[in-house]
Amino acid sequence: MEQKTCLFINRRSPYGSTHASEALDMAFALSAFEHRVSLIFMDDGVLQLMRDQQTETIGMKNMSPSFKAWEDYEIQHLYVEQASLETRGMQASDLLLDVEIIDSQQLAKVIQSHQFIFNN
Amino acid sequence: MELEITKDGFLINKEDWTKEIAEKIATEEGIILTEQHWEIIFFIQEYYAEYSLTPIMRILGKAISKKLDENKGKSRYLYSLFPEVPIKQAARIAGLPKPPSCI
Amino acid sequence: MPTLHIINTSPNMRTALQSCLRVMHEDDGIIFIEDAVISVKKDTPIAELIKEKILTGKCFFLKPDLEARGIKEESMTQGIKLVDYNGFVKLTIEFYRTQTWS
């Protein structure tokens, strides 16, 4: 199977729908099958990376610990859009992982450089 | 007390898990648990506690090679312990949810 | 007939909040649940949008949804009120009716 470059643009909050956790499952699966996968977090997608998520009271599985397995799964890059953090009053220290925080122009280049885009 | 299980025989509440339950599930899978089995079972339980996920075979193998022993991460070794579908059988015995990668 | 407006979508992704604010009466209350709880963050464009409503003391946020998203109390706008599930139910009784904006 030919190796492809895949980019997930994660734009949704983690628990309002199942989009976020399904996108993560899919990203890990593609990466495990040796495609080169990167993730972008923008808009409300940046909330997926918030530290200290506690989901017991809403009765949903906490998806945030799974992101820590990104290196095991050989995910190439984790990008976060600076403007999306700012609009939400967030900063790098609010996030549970060290990510690459980039501006919108850089993001445009990242998107352009990938063969497949999954926007959700 | 009746254990709550899914139709595939996975525990619904991982808090229900005990070593006795593991032995019982293993028997259903046709496996007699040894030291070597427990080592892998505890490994995937710890992995789940940290990452809230059961990794696919290749990733689990890599993690085991890195943290336990190079040879124990090889699929030949894992298949020798859990002959049918290692991840699925090990997860079931460990009381974890059915891995998303398994049908 | 005072209404409790329920917002359950993110103000960054949809216009439910903006539309609701435009048409709500000063006696009405507003509660943010699910994805809408991100509106609680201080010093943001959304905080600016709801600041007048906060002054009325009838601006509520559902705590379990804030906790699920890791949003800490120190990052929240002053003057908002946090409620748990029971508090939410009480509000629906105190107001004459509820209206959900998705």
Closest Cβ–Cβ partner in A12, A87, A89 for C75: A89
Contact: C70, A58; criterion CB under 8 Å: no
Contact C85, C64 (CB under 8 A): yes
What is the pLDDT confidence band of residue A33, given thresholds at 50, 70 and 90?
confident
Residue C16's pLDDT is 92
Query: What percent of chain B shows pLDDT beyond 70?
Result: 96
Q: Which long-range contacts (CB under 8 A, 24 or more apart) does C70-73 make?
A: C70/A47, C70/A50, C70/A51, C70/A52, C70/A53, C70/A54, C70/A64, C70/A94, C71/A50, C71/C37, C71/C38, C71/C40, C71/C41, C72/A52
How many whole angstroms separate alpha carbon C100 and alpha carbon B34?
A: 57
Residue B103's pLDDT is 55
Contact: A64, C12; criterion CB under 8 Å: no
Closest Cβ–Cβ partner in A63, A65, A73 for B59: A73
Q: Which residues of A touch B58 (CB under 8 A)?
A: 32
Per-10-residue mean pLDDT for chain C, 102 residues long?
Answer: 93 91 90 97 94 95 97 95 98 94 90
Is residue B65 within 8 angstroms of chain A, CB to CB?
no
Q: Which of B32, B67, B102, B103 is catalytic?
A: B102
How many whole angstroms separate alpha carbon C37 and alpha carbon B10?
A: 35
Residue B1's pLDDT is 61
Q: Name all chains with 3 or more CB-CB pairs below 8 Å to chain B.
A: A
A with B: how many residue pairs have Cβ under 8 Å apart?
32
pTM, two decimal places = 0.84
Q: Name all chains with 3 or more CB-CB pairs below 8 Å to chain C.
A: A
- The mean of the pLDDT values for chain B is 92
Residue A97 burial (CB < 10 Å; 0-12/13-18/19+)? Answer: middle
- C-proximal residues of A, 30-69, CB under 8 Å: 43-44, 47, 50-55, 57-58, 60, 62, 64
The residues, any chain, with a CB within 8 Å of residue A37's CB and separated by 6 or more, are A5, A6, A7, A8, A27, A30, A31, A75, A76
User: Residues for chain C: how many in total?
Assistant: 102
Contact: A63, B52; criterion CB under 8 Å: yes
Report the residue of A57, A97, A120 to disrupt the C interface, i.e. the one with the largest count of C CBs within 10 Å. Answer: A57
| CATH architecture type of domain C3-101 | 3-Layer(aba) Sandwich (3.40)
Q: Treating both helix axes as pointing N-terminal to C-terminal, what angle do C16-23 and C45-55 enclose, rounded to 10 degrees?
A: 30
Contact A15, A23 (CB under 8 A): no
CA dihedral A91→A96→A97→A99, nearest 10 degrees, is -30
Contact: C68, A60; criterion CB under 8 Å: yes
**Does A68 have pLDDT greater than 70?**
yes
Structural domains in chain B? 14-93 (1.10.10.370)
A with C: how many residue pairs have Cβ under 8 Å apart?
70
How many whole angstroms separate alpha carbon B76 and alpha carbon B79?
A: 5
Q: Which residues of A touch B100 (CB under 8 A)?
A: 25, 29
Q: Is B102 a catalytic residue?
A: yes
Model confidence pLDDT, tens digit, residues B6-41: 999 999 988 999 999 999 999 999 999 999 999 999
Is residue B101 within 8 angstroms of chain A, CB to CB?
yes
Which residues constitute the domain of residue A86?
5-119
Contact: A68, B58; criterion CB under 8 Å: no
Contact: A89, C41; criterion CB under 8 Å: yes
Minimal-distance CA residue of chain C relative to A84? C12
Residue B101's pLDDT is 65
The domain limits of chain C are 3-101
How many whole angstroms separate alpha carbon A14 and alpha carbon B4?
A: 28
For residues C48-59, b (16+ Cβ closer than 10 Å) or e, as one string?
eebeebbeeebb
Minimal-distance CA residue of chain A relative to C43? A89
